[in-house]
Amino acid sequence: MVPWWLMAVLVFGANFMFWGGIGLLRATVACGGWLRSRVSWRSWLLRALADLRDVWSALPERRRNRRHDDPPCGSIGVDRVAVLMPAHNEELVISESLESVTALVPRSNIHVVSDGSTDRTVELAERAGVNVISTHANVGKAGALREAVERFGLVERYPIVLLLDADTRLDGNYFRAALPLFDNPEVAAVAGFVRSDWDRSGLSVLGRLLVCHRQRIYALGQYLLKFGQTWLRCNATHIVPGFASMYRTAVLPYIDMDPPGLVIEDFNMTFEVYQKGLGKVGFTPKAVAITQDPDNLGDYVRQTRRWALGLWQTVRRHRPRVNLFSCMLFLLLVELVTSSLMMVLFPVVLLVLFLPRLFPVVTGVPVLGPLYETVTGHVSPLGLVLGVVVVDLSLSLLVAVVMRKPRFLLFGGFFLVLRVLDCSLSLYTLPMAWLTRSTGRWRSPGRRAPVRRGAAAAGPDPTAGG
């Protein structure tokens, strides 16, 4: 009989437990205190508490309100940062996104590349007073980025470039938190901390469920996984998300930003950084950016399928090497397949276990009877409930407490259904990565028009997306 705790590990993964433990160690070991020199237990404790305080201060509604015009800490100022925003038919959201970044960066530093837009994207970007170009054809996001880097001469003009999606708003503290990470010469890229923009009016119940589910994934993935993976002492994360990420421009010439056959670029760019030894990835929960996620099932399925396919395509393209990144990736992929299989089988096993209890006559059916006996010989109903349902609800409770949003508990009973959907899409796209090739051309999900809330549109919103 499979114990409930082993079932929980198989379904939810040892990967999160391992990197979550690394993240906890990162939070409690201050600047390598006891590793680099002999220090008293009191000094180590004070430093550890200081690190924990920094992590706690990054949680929603704990961040301090600061003035936008305060200069960021670190040797690189925002005047030396280029912002590159690829856009394809983003007229509903691009003005608000540009408004958020122009409050933090000089307009002359902001560059928009329209990739085959047929709406007012170019007009609105030009009205914002930023640099705007258009691609000669619809070449996809990666192709648009590569072309814009060359045409704007960003590598020669700036030491840092921020890749910002047209549906993403920067928090007022983004650069203050992220730029100091580049003071370490080993850091080649910095990943932003994503929050979903779910406080917009007009969302249906299904829309709120989908966005809430995605925010739960963001919270667990970033606080428990990425925070551990991006500790510089054992640095290996599988993605620097393209919604709001920064790169040293010095590494861009060595990154193949637009290889043929890939549907998305951010997995590939991250793999290139590690597999070519270009540097490490920095990350802090304080570098917040707020993005839109799909609020209808069709867009949600298409986006999730695209992300999953992009991962498998990138794995296909990059051969494993003998390094920490390849080891981390192997563990992640094995666990992704096994946990996805477990989640896809979960509804079937649940039905097999409980249907005969409700209708005993089905045990006499030629197929269901033997199947029921086989399943009950390995899995108990209580173990299934404890190892899957209770653990999943506990994760929702954890996120609700951290984010201070009770809606995670309200929707908690439906997250498992969406997770089964996510896992099904992941398995579905696995063979497609080797059987099909993608053009990289994009289709943006349906956008939600901004709701003006005074100055909050351009300033920090501690509760947005939380």
Lowest mean pLDDT among 297-301, 319-323, 343-347, 455-459: 455-459
Please report which confidence band the pLDDT of residue 445 belongs to, taking 50, 70 and 90 as the band edges.
low
> How do residues 108-133 score in pLDDT, each as one tens digit?
999 999 999 999 999 999 999 999 99
Average pLDDT score, the chain: 85
Which is more confidently placed, 89 or 450?
89
Lowest mean pLDDT among 138-142, 352-356, 378-382, 445-449: 445-449
Q: Is it the case that residue 241 has pLDDT exceeding 70?
A: yes
- Could you give the CA distance from residue 311 to residue 309 in angstroms, rounded to a whole number? 5
Please report which confidence band the pLDDT of residue 94 belongs to, taking 50, 70 and 90 as the band edges.
very high
> How do residues 143-167 score in pLDDT, each as one tens digit?
999 999 999 999 999 999 999 999 9
Tell me the mean pLDDT in the region 352-362.
Answer: 81
Distances from the Cα of 222 to the Cαs of 49, 80, 108, 230, 399, in angstroms?
A: 21, 28, 32, 10, 12
**Sheet of strand 280-291: strand arrangement:** 131-134, 110-114, 81-87, 160-164, 244-248, 187-196, 280-291, 168-170
Residues above pLDDT 70, as percent of the chain = 84
pLDDT (0 to 100) of residue 54:
54
Tell me the mean pLDDT in the region 72-85.
Answer: 87
Q: What share of the chain is helix, strand, coil (3-state, %, to 5)?
A: 55, 10, 35
Q: Is it the case that residue 442 has pLDDT exceeding 90?
A: no
Amino acid identity, position 209: L
Say what the pTM is: 0.83
Contact indicator for 104, 175 with CB cutoff of 8 Å: yes
Contact indicator for 278, 245 with CB cutoff of 8 Å: no
Which is more confidently placed, 339 or 47?
339
Which two three-digit tokens encode residue 162?
């921020």
Question: Which of 54, 35, 53, 56 has the alpha carbon at shortest distance from 44?
Answer: 35
- Could you give the CA distance from residue 172 to residue 78 in angstroms, rounded to a whole number? 12
The values of phi and psi at residue 107, to 5°, are: -60, -30
> How do residues 176-203 score in pLDDT, each as one tens digit?
999 999 999 999 999 999 999 876 667 8
Kind and range of the H or E run holding 81: strand 81-87
Contact indicator for 114, 131 with CB cutoff of 8 Å: no
The CA-based dihedral angle spanning residues 397, 402, 403, 404, taken in that order and rounded to the nearest 10 degrees = 80
Question: Which of 20, 5, 11, 19 has the alpha carbon at shortest distance from 398?
Answer: 20
Question: Which domains, ranges and CATH numbers included, belong to the chain?
Answer: 1-466 (3.90.550.10)
Please report which confidence band the pLDDT of residue 376 belongs to, taking 50, 70 and 90 as the band edges.
confident
Amino acid identity, position 88: H
Q: Is it the case that residue 397 has pLDDT exceeding 90?
A: yes
- Could you give the CA distance from residue 465 to residue 200 in angstroms, rounded to a whole number? 9
